[in-house]
Amino acid sequence: MAITSDDLFFSKEPNKTLIVGGGYVAVECAGFISGLHYDTTIMTRRNFLNEFDKDMSNIIMEDLKTLNKVFL
């Protein structure tokens, strides 16, 4: 289990990664972690990228699902 980013990069490789939150930092982290070929899941209570334009956030989330295999 990784609590901080240091735990992610300095411990053994995770089988799966859960990112809690739907803001731009969480989405950015999910993108680069899935780019490292880890199974990545994003979980949030609200909409993803709630503070951004809805059309753009939908495009970004669809790209993450199809290109990077991030599960929402």
Select the more confidently predicted residue: 36 or 14.
36
Instruction: Please give the tally of structural domains in the chain.
Output: 1
51 in a structural domain: yes
SS (H, E, C) the chain: CCCCHHHHHHCCCCCEEEEECCCHHHHHHHHHHHHCCCEEEEECCCCCCCCCCHHHHHHHHHHHHHHCCEEC
8 in a structural domain: no
- Rounded average pLDDT over 13-35: 83
22 in a structural domain: yes
**What residue numbers bound the domain in which 32 lies?**
15-71
Structure confidence by residue, pLDDT tens digits, 39-61: 888 888 877 888 888 898 888 87
35 in a structural domain: yes
